[in-house]
Amino acid sequence: MWTSIRLVLWILFLGSAILLSIVVLLQESKGGGLAEAFGGVGAETFGVKTRGINKFTFSLAGVFVGSAILLHMFWNA
């Protein structure tokens, strides 16, 4: 039973890693980088236009981190 859970977690982990890499690379460049993202002109970075892709990226990152934590927990089980 544990091997089937580990297999599903590995598939979820690797699939989310690949998809997260593709989504991040396909996003349009915002310009000023991290320093400008939280002040002044960079405030539009998290605006209405990019809300959907940002939510998807953060959700995918959550799946990636969650599956990594679960893999670690089940590693020696």
Cβ contacts of residue 30 below 8 Å, gap of 6+?
Answer: 37, 42, 45
Decide: pTM greater than 0.75.
Answer: no
CA distance 11 to 77: 18
**Mean pLDDT value of segment 18-23:** 94
Q: Domains of the chain: which residue ranges?
A: 49-77
* Cβ within 8 Å of residue 41, ≥6 positions away: 31, 32
Kindly state the tokens that stand for 1. Answer: 């039973």
The answer, yes or no, to whether residue 41 has pLDDT greater than 80, is no
CB–CB of 20/64 below 8 Å?
yes
**pLDDT at 28 (0 to 100):** 74
Give the tens place of pLDDT for each residue, 46-77: 555 667 888 899 999 999 999 999 999 988 76
